[in-house]
Structure 1
Amino acid sequence: MGIIEIIGIAGSVSLLSGWRLYLCVFATGLAMRLDALPVPEHLASLGVLENPWVMGIAAFGALAEFFADKVMWLDSLWDTLHTLVRPVGGALLALAIVDPSDPAMQVIAFLLGGGASFLAHGGKASARAVVNTSPEPVSNVAVSATEDVATIGLLWLAYEYPFAAAGIAAFLIVLVTGLLWMAQRIIKRLFFRSPKGVPEG
């Protein structure tokens, strides 16, 4: 596996962890336990994810997040509480993916993984803040369910097709940046309107 594929997988997993950290940990561990995800020798450090204790805690967190993420405003509270957890988790997952014999690469992976997770977390939290301005609960459930399906699907693609992982990471960066940009514009329009008769400026 080349450097581009490794960086692509690390980036994809880190970005997806910014959405669903517990689901990423549990899904990866489960796939490894079922031998659906053959782990190359240089990714042996990911083996800790198939530890029963790690999988149990991740499953509990994923289940709690599944329900919390579909309740209006509770999802934003959950996101706020995980502002530090998701980036650190994403950074550690990225760290586990790179070759441990290359300290420089590990530092880069840790920093970029944490940054990618924080960016994805920010995009998710901002998008949810906008969705929560809608009085009906359907939008919230629909967005949350879409995130669940997208996380599992993109995580599977990144592991199954390492050569496409860099493209998946690039797509996620564009998507998250777009979400942040749209959320900023909508929030500004909703909460910072100019008084009638006073031009914006």
Structure 2
Amino acid sequence: MNPLPALDLTQLLALAAALGWASGMRLYLVVFLTGAAGFFGWVPLPPGLQLLQHPLVLGTSGLMLTAEFVADKVPGLDSLWDALHTFIRIPAGAALAAGVFAGLGPEWGSAWALAAALAGGTLAATAHAAKATTRAAANTSPEPFSNIGLSLAGDAAVPGLLWLAWAYPVAALGVLALAVVLALVLIAVLFKFLRQLLRRFTPARPSVA
């Protein structure tokens, strides 16, 4: 069997950005899919990501993505899950993005890994904030179908984005740029909506004479 070709710079950049962004949405699915792709030889993982293809990591991420798949479909529980993972997804997105450049040799240097960590953490934070805000807004509706639909869309978007980063990195970077703009708009609009809703149901404090 011929060895898989190494990723070029454009693919590395697209992969780092995709891992950062997708970690803000479905961290455990990202870890599992990336590790499985390396384990089965579908793509050549950079040295800093090869730990993800270890069977122990694959098994653990598989269990966690199953739990997340279920939790993300239940109104209320999805927002609680998002709140708890605020402290997990963002640093994990930074670590995965940095791992794309870690161990690639002195020609890359630690500067690439540090820059990727900063960008990956920022992308993860943006995606996480947009997801959490959107799901919180959806939870104001009594019907559960919007939650399930949004969750399934996220389940499909993550593998699609990772595949795009490997196969068509330039297109993946363009899609991510549009996703960031859309996320920022959603955060601004839905945050105002949730704040107004909270004010509506919060009793006004009596004025002090």
Instruction: Sort the TM-score into its range (normalised by shorter chain).
Output: 0.7 to 0.9
Partner of 2:4: none
Deviations 1:39-95 (A, max 9, x none): 3xxx12211111001111111110000000000100011001100100111011101
Q: What is the alpha-carbon distance in structure 1 between the residues aligned to residue 94 and residue 124 of structure 2?
A: 7
Residue 126 (structure 2) pairs with residue 123 (structure 1): no
Shift of 1:122: 0.8
Structure 2 residue aligned with 1:10, among 10, 16, 39? 16
Q: Identify the structure with bigger relative contact order (alpha carbons < 8 Å, sequence gap 6+).
A: 1
Deviations 1:12-44 (A, max 9, x none): 2101110000000101111122222233xxx12
Q: What is the alpha-carbon distance in structure 2 between the residues aligned to residue 96 and residue 48 of structure 1?
A: 10
Structure ID, larger Rg: 2
Q: What is the alpha-carbon distance in structure 2 between the residues aligned to residue 165 and residue 137 of structure 1?
A: 31
Q: Is contact 1:12-1:172 (8 Å) kept?
A: no
Shift of 1:4: 4.3
Q: What is the alpha-carbon distance in structure 2 between the residues aligned to residue 178 and residue 36 of structure 1?
A: 36
Structural mapping, 1:36-55, within 5 Å: 36-39=42-45, 43-55=46-58
Q: What is the alpha-carbon distance in structure 2 between the residues aligned to residue 116 and residue 175 of structure 1?
A: 13
Q: Is contact 1:69-1:78 (8 Å) kept?
A: yes
Shift of 1:160: 2.1
Residue 99 (structure 2) pairs with residue 92 (structure 1): no
Partner of 2:72: 69
Q: Is contact 1:17-1:86 (8 Å) kept?
A: yes
Q: What is the alpha-carbon distance in structure 1 between the residues aligned to residue 44 and residue 111 of structure 2?
A: 26
Partner of 1:181: 188
Tell me the TM-score normalised to structure 2 length.
0.85
Q: Is contact 1:5-1:164 (8 Å) kept?
A: no
Q: What fraction of aligned residue pairs are identical, expressed as a percent?
A: 41
Residue 174 (structure 2) pairs with residue 167 (structure 1): yes
Structure 2 residue aligned with 1:35, among 31, 35, 41? 41
Shift of 1:166: 1.6
Alignment coverage as a number of residue pairs: 191
Structure 1 gaps, min length 5: 194-201
Partner of 1:133: 140
Q: Is contact 2:48-2:101 (8 Å) kept?
A: no
Residue 37 (structure 2) pairs with residue 26 (structure 1): no
**The 10-residue stretch of structure 1 (65-74 or 44-53) with the greater mean CA deviation from structure 2:** 44-53
Shift of 1:2: 5.0
Deviations 1:163-187 (A, max 9, x none): 3232132122123212212212321
- Cα RMSD over matched residues? 1.8
What SS class does the counterpart of residue 37 from structure 1 fall into? coil
